[in-house]
Copies of this chain bind each other. A is one copy, B any other.
Amino acid sequence: MKSGLDDAFNPETVADVGASSKRGYFFLRSFLRFKGRVYAVNPGRSEIPELGLKVYPRVTDIPDKVDFVFVETPAHTVPGIIEDCVKKGVKLVAIFTAGFSETGRKEGIELEEKIKEIIRGSKTRVLGPNCLGLYNPRIGLAWRANLPLDAGDVAFISQSGGLANLVILYGHTRGLRFSKVVSFGNACDIGLEELLLYFKDDPETRVVAAYIEGIKDAKGLAETFLEVSLKKPLIVWKGGRSEDGARACASHTGSLAGSHRIWSAVFRQTGVVEVKTLEELVDTALTFSFLPPIRGNSVGSISISGGASVTISDLLSEAGFRVPPLREETIRLIDEEVRRVYPEGISVINPVDVSAAYYNPGVVSTVIDVMTGDPNIDLIIFDLPVMYLAYSWRQSDAFRGEFMEALIKSGKNAIEKGKPFVVVLSPVGDEALWVRLRDTLVKEKIPVYPDMRRTCDALRNAKSYYEFLEKRRKAESHLADELEAPLLKVT
């Protein structure tokens, strides 16, 4: 394996080869947001006046070093361009062009082999072909003009460019921020395993996620999975689990999906968190990115409605959690505060259903704060029903501000104290308000999920990872005990 990718993934200059007015300079326009220097290459023209850019005939003609090259020319021209890149000392090439090994056709396979030969022994690394390449928001590098440029701590590795777009865009609305996203397509050079090892050690990455359709060489992958997940949460979405899905994979990236029974076993044994949809991937990554570890299964659940309390209890149970009765002191403190604003008082065992007192900022703070202090509660779920809020908030804007302030302050405090706190925010009743509230909360790094099932699935996924780590820790300390045991027996 070649040396680290860090240099290749942090270019200072970028060149787009084959930018075309037919596609409205789709990619080039996005590269103009790059914080370094940007060049356009196209033998057919000398300038793009509408973008104020001079165009060079070849990469080798650029009078500057070139670190990163994005290739969007027809397949048969690609080997020549790669030759120029090697000559120029380019560090990373991303080949967007399709029509290589994924077609299953002889010409495509041979073209791809040619690329491999050209870069052999050089310092030039290649992503693709049939990929979108590198998204590194910290330096303003993105392949689409609508991809956001604020950076964070989640890395995403994707065999599908389309899904990389979806994960970035959807993740962003949910509050996820990415360290880097890599779309690796046919993986003629840089592949899954190398990327996993890179992100394991990337200090900017706290959570690693990947979409995989299949791999060409499975040797060592399980060890790599384990190596990563012992250091950081590793989320894998495996496409092609089913027979029909595998057939779709073959015509998509030309990869063999493999038996899903084997994949699942490998995931379980190596601590990989398996997800099955875009939504579950983003929900789960959000949980890891925003929350401290989940160290137990006792949930404190707060809601306004009896029906919601029942639902969340059922779904949590099915996800391996409990909603245990609160300890007496906790109940007394909540009851006291609730009675202050709602004289009739309500019984608050758990789930806490404070009914009409729900709207009171003091009640919100108290309930969250005492649960944060209750050692029998491992995590807190706050059900925020837009429907009811929309109604009461129409009455008073000031009230809304106070309510959200109390929620954010107490929620953040819980998270800072190491107690996971999440909000279930369903769009029912007012979709515009839903978007506004969600954006307000995720800006404060409070995770928000759109319904109870997805909340429970994400929390279960995260819990399973921390349980895996704990089991490993115990097994290792047990092993250490055994190694010491003979000595103890001797004494």
Closest Cβ–Cβ distance, residue A25 to chain B (whole Å) = 13
Cβ-based interface call for A53 (8 A)? no
When chains A and B are docked, how far (Å) is the Cα of A280 from the Cα of B213? Answer: 29
CB <8 Å contact, A162 and B252: no
B contact residues around A253 at 8 Å (CB): 306
**Residue positions of A touching B, CB distance < 8 A:** 146, 158, 160-163, 165-166, 169-170, 173, 211, 213, 239-245, 247-249, 251-253, 276-280, 304-311, 313-318, 322-324, 347, 349, 351, 353, 385, 387, 390-391, 426-429, 431, 435, 451-453
Q: 9 closest pairs, A vs B, by CB?
A: A242-B317, A252-B306, A160-B307, A162-B305, A163-B307, A245-B314, A245-B313, A239-B310, A244-B313
CB <8 Å contact, A277 and B453: yes
The listed residue (B248, B304, B351, B353) touching A306 by CB distance below 8 A is: B248
The listed residue (B277, B323, B426) touching A315 by CB distance below 8 A is: B277
B contact residues around A239 at 8 Å (CB): 307, 310-311, 314
B contact residues around A249 at 8 Å (CB): 310
How many of these chains are in the complex? 2
When chains A and B are docked, how far (Å) is the Cα of A158 from the Cα of B305? Answer: 14
B contact residues around A146 at 8 Å (CB): 390-391, 429
CB <8 Å contact, A310 and B245: yes
B contact residues around A280 at 8 Å (CB): 453
Closest Cβ–Cβ distance, residue A371 to chain B (whole Å) = 16
B contact residues around A317 at 8 Å (CB): 241-245
When chains A and B are docked, how far (Å) is the Cα of A162 from the Cα of B388? Answer: 10
B contact residues around A308 at 8 Å (CB): 162-163
CB <8 Å contact, A160 and B278: no
**Nearest neighbor of A173 in chain B, beta-carbon distance:** B431
CB <8 Å contact, A435 and B431: yes
When chains A and B are docked, how far (Å) is the Cα of A373 from the Cα of B244? Answer: 22
When chains A and B are docked, how far (Å) is the Cα of A449 from the Cα of B62? Answer: 50
When chains A and B are docked, how far (Å) is the Cα of A3 from the Cα of B247? Answer: 59
CB <8 Å contact, A353 and B429: no
When chains A and B are docked, how far (Å) is the Cα of A307 from the Cα of B211? Answer: 9
A-B contacts, 7 listed (Cβ < 8 Å): A146-B390, A162-B308, A239-B311, A242-B314, A251-B353, A277-B315, A279-B451
**Nearest neighbor of A102 in chain B, beta-carbon distance:** B306
B contact residues around A452 at 8 Å (CB): 277
CB <8 Å contact, B279 and A453: yes
When chains A and B are docked, how far (Å) is the Cα of A239 from the Cα of B305? Answer: 13
CB <8 Å contact, B279 and A241: no
B contact residues around A318 at 8 Å (CB): 241-242
Taking A160-B305, A239-B307 as contacts, is the C-beta distance between A248 and B428 under 8 angstroms?
no
